[in-house]
Amino acid sequence: MVLGREKINALLVSIMVIFFCTFDGVLFLLGVTSSSGSLNLYMAFLYIGLLIIFFMFNFSKTYNALKNKDNLIVVILCFSMISIFSITSVFSDFKIKLIRDISYAFLYGLLFIFFSTIKKNRFCAQTFIRICVISFIIILPLISVILGTKLFPRFESIYGTPSLTGNTIAFAASIIILNWKKYFSSEMSIFLIFSSILLIVFSGSRTALALVLFSSLIGFLSTRSLLTTLTNVFFLFALISLFSLANLNYFEGLEELRILSVDDIQIGSISTRLIWINIILSALSETSWIGGFGSGAAESLLGAISHADILQIYFDYSVLGLLVYLGIIYYFSGTIKSQFFIFHFVALFLLGLQNAYFAPIILMTYLSLRVMSDSKNYEKHI
């Protein structure tokens, strides 16, 4: 079989995305780095450099891409965030946190333009989606097991932390659910979704499970097929019932599964996160809800990353920084032109409670799958 240029280009971009999403995790699993995510900042600068080189060699396409109003607004919002970060952190003691946040904001703007630009000529989005989804759900977790990653107590996988594993797989599963039969057959889709849920259970990520449930709900609301509707209803009812009954101690042993519990199991419980959120809100209330304590302030207050990006940005960079961040989420979601706008917006908003901003691989995964699965909003302007 001879691959056409469209599929070769899609293969190359998918390899780039997969490499970006796994490089740090692979080094961690191989014992090269002391902690997962330790190279995030350095990887951000590396990819900023690579993207700038790409834009320089494709200047005309990049220039035309900026004629797209959505692309231009995202660039303006990202630079606005960088300005707010810098102004509010003049007297901050955490300059490395400021550099991190600025580099991420710049990277996100570049990624948004990149994925919008590369689809202009000879690019097979279907090939890209298929390669990425199968890699995220099947190939990479399998490689992780081969490299020695244990499934219990929490499956970290090649992506790094368990939450990154769960959320990356959840986005891949949502693409299947929301684009039924577009990229895979029904049988293959069912297999991939079942595999993704199993891996999410191993990862213990409740946010990831919520994303899959939410995409199923949106799929249910948008389908006209009676069989698909009944299947979605059964799926949703079964998972919600299982979660509820486990927390009511109806099933002995199931309450020990982190993904089904709200208690402090294996650290990082819902109750612990609620305590952190309450601490941040209390501190914000003392400043008339303005915020803006400077980079790293929330992490210093809690002694840990808050796992609530929206509140962390609010606390560190003021209510103005929060509004700009929400604007970026809105445009990352595809705006109201997207058929699944509600899912994309709420999903990324929910993921904002799980270090979306402070884990670049999540935005890489999200933007690549989201933009590639919905090309009509971008190609007409490029």
The dihedral through the CA atoms of 289, 292, 293, 298 has a sign that is: positive
**Domain positions in the chain:** 5-379
b vs e for 203-241, b when ≥16 Cβ sit within 10 Å of the residue's Cβ? Answer: bbbbbbbbbbbbbbbbbbeeeeeeebeebbeebeeebee
SS3 assignment for 136-158? HHHHHHHHHHHCCCCCCCCCCCC
pLDDT of residue 381: 29
Q: For the chain, how many helices (H) and strands (E)?
A: 17, 0
Residues sharing a CB contact under 8 Å with residue 8, sequence separation 6 or more, in sequence order: none
Instruction: Kindly state the tokens that stand for 297.
Output: 């302030």
Instruction: Kindly state the tokens that stand for 341.
Output: 């706008």
Euclidean distance between CA atoms 265 and 279, whole angstroms: 21
CB-based burial label for 154 (10 Å; 0-12, 13-18, 19+): buried
In residues, how long is the chain?
382
Instruction: Kindly state the tokens that stand for 168.
Output: 């990356």
Residues sharing a CB contact under 8 Å with residue 249, sequence separation 6 or more, in sequence order: 255
Of 331, 325, 322, the C-alpha closest to 366 is 331
pLDDT of residue 261: 63
pLDDT of residue 218: 77
Residues sharing a CB contact under 8 Å with residue 95, sequence separation 6 or more, in sequence order: 89, 295
What is the CA angle 38-106-94, rounded to 5? 50
In order along its 382 residues, the chain shows pLDDT tens digits of 456 788 888 898 999 899 888 888 888 877 777 776 777 788 888 889 988 998 888 888 788 888 888 889 999 999 999 999 999 998 888 888 899 899 989 998 999 888 888 766 678 889 999 999 999 999 999 999 988 888 877 888 888 888 889 989 999 999 998 888 889 998 999 999 999 988 998 888 888 888 888 888 777 776 666 776 677 677 667 766 666 665 555 555 555 566 666 665 555 667 777 788 889 999 998 878 888 999 999 988 888 788 888 889 999 999 999 999 988 888 887 766 665 667 777 777 777 776 777 777 888 888 888 888 764 433 332 2
Euclidean distance between CA atoms 99 and 97, whole angstroms: 5
pLDDT of residue 132: 95
Q: How many C-beta atoms surround the C-beta of residue 301 within 10 A? A: 18
Of 190, 237, 191, 230, the C-alpha closest to 213 is 237
Question: What is the pTM for the complete model shown?
Answer: 0.83
Of 80, 117, 107, the C-alpha closest to 326 is 80
Euclidean distance between CA atoms 255 and 245, whole angstroms: 9
> Which residue's structure tokens are 């003392």?
286
Euclidean distance between CA atoms 217 and 233, whole angstroms: 8
b vs e for 78-93, b when ≥16 Cβ sit within 10 Å of the residue's Cβ? Answer: bebbbebbeebbeebe
pLDDT of residue 373: 79
Euclidean distance between CA atoms 296 and 92, whole angstroms: 8
Instruction: Kindly state the tokens that stand for 279.
Output: 């601490």
Of 270, 323, 280, the C-alpha closest to 300 is 280
Residues sharing a CB contact under 8 Å with residue 309, sequence separation 6 or more, in sequence order: 325, 352, 353, 354, 355, 356, 357, 358
